[in-house]
Amino acid sequence: MKHGLRRLAAIGLTACCLAIGLEIVAAGPALACVPGPNGGCYTPHTYYVSGTDGTLAVQVQPHVSNVTRLLHEGNAVQVICQINWGGTDPYDGLSSHTWDLIAGGGWVYDWYISTPAQNADGWSAGLTRCDLPAGQLSTAVPVPSLAVNAMWVASSPAQVFRDGPGYFNSTAVRGLSDGGACQDFVMANTDFWWLWDSWDGYQTLNDVFTWASISQSYGRSVYSTPGVGDIAVFAGGWHGPWNYGTGHVAMVVKVNDSSSFTVAEYNWHANGGGFGVMDFRRVAMGDFAGSYLKFIR
């Protein structure tokens, strides 16, 4: 059913709209500057709802089933910025991951907006890519307070810190049960579906130093300072008291201060960790002065 998403959304909104008197209007003149998801200043561009069966759901987050209001065929929308890592449209059988953030709040599925055609990576030419704020851990797992360069080995082999639409917990954890690797744990707590697509042969997953550039091509931001929920990519070799081998990835679960952060990691087998074991470790930023340390968000 081609337009199942919009029909389902309309049914779910009927009671809401009647209760609060929701008024659906077309967008006005383009605004000079509006805040994006990370608070930056964006100049929106006006496009139109196109190709629907009459209505298009505006979602609270860039995936289906969290409708906030409806737009109508031909309505003008002011697109603030675009992502290519959102959810698909299973109701209409569409596999695109591209969503547009619009003025007035909410996300719309780009397939039904008159933006330029998406390229092979899911981007529309001329649209600004949304920056991303630091995330939050969606599953409450106690993070221990550690001294700098201290480590605490968890009693269970692995835990899930982030979950939600697009996350691969149930699939990637299969690798953890088999011993896994540091990449398996990261994949179990991320929605980096473009890395999962390269699972065959482990080529992309093993070469962690390609993760930042590949993720940037899919709209993610790469930083030199950590945020909760970021994926940390560490250079190999000795840094401080730790040997990072040929390179390592982990998940940032706490930013302690401007000079240190705590990660959860898997298969950190040096200095008291172990294969098939998850641990927490507080890392000193200064240990990587002049060396590769990136945070993917």
pLDDT class for 293, splitting at 50, 70, 90?
very high
Q: Which residue has the higher pLDDT, 186 or 113?
A: 113
Lowest mean pLDDT among 1-5, 101-105, 145-149, 191-195: 1-5
CA-CA distance, 135 to 37, in Å (whole number)?
A: 11
CA-CA distance, 121 to 198, in Å (whole number)?
A: 14
Dump the DSSP string for 135-154.
---SS--------TT-EEE-
- The string of pLDDT tens digits covering residues 214-240 is 887 777 788 888 888 888 999 989 999
For residue 43 the two structure tokens come to: 């100049």
Q: Specify the DSSP element, H or E, that contains 213.
A: helix 211-217
- The string of pLDDT tens digits covering residues 40-93 is 567 889 999 999 999 999 999 888 999 999 999 999 999 998 887 788 899 999
Q: Which residue has the higher pLDDT, 110 or 236?
A: 110
The pLDDT of residue 166 is above 90: no
CB 223 within 8 A of CB 295: yes
CA-CA distance, 155 to 213, in Å (whole number)?
A: 34
φ/ψ (deg, to 5) at 101: -85, 130
The pLDDT, as a whole number, for residue 115 is 97
CA-CA distance, 178 to 251, in Å (whole number)?
A: 20
- The string of pLDDT tens digits covering residues 12-47 is 333 232 222 223 233 334 456 676 555 556 788 999
The pLDDT of residue 107 is above 90: yes
CA-CA distance, 98 to 62, in Å (whole number)?
A: 9
For residue 75 the two structure tokens come to: 């309505």
pLDDT class for 191, splitting at 50, 70, 90?
low
Cross-strand partners of 242 = 239
The pLDDT, as a whole number, for residue 40 is 59
The pLDDT of residue 10 is above 60: no
CB 33 within 8 A of CB 45: no
Read off the pLDDT of each residue in 116-124 and give the average, rounded to a whole number. 87
The pLDDT, as a whole number, for residue 38 is 52
Give me the domains of the chain, ranges plus CATH numbers: 4-112 (no CATH), 151-296 (3.90.1720.10)
The pLDDT of residue 131 is above 80: no
- The string of pLDDT tens digits covering residues 260-287 is 999 988 878 655 556 667 788 999 999 9
The pLDDT of residue 179 is above 90: no
- Which amino acid is present at 139? T
Q: Which of 101, 107, 153 is nearest to 129 (CA)?
A: 101
Strand, coil or helix: 99: strand
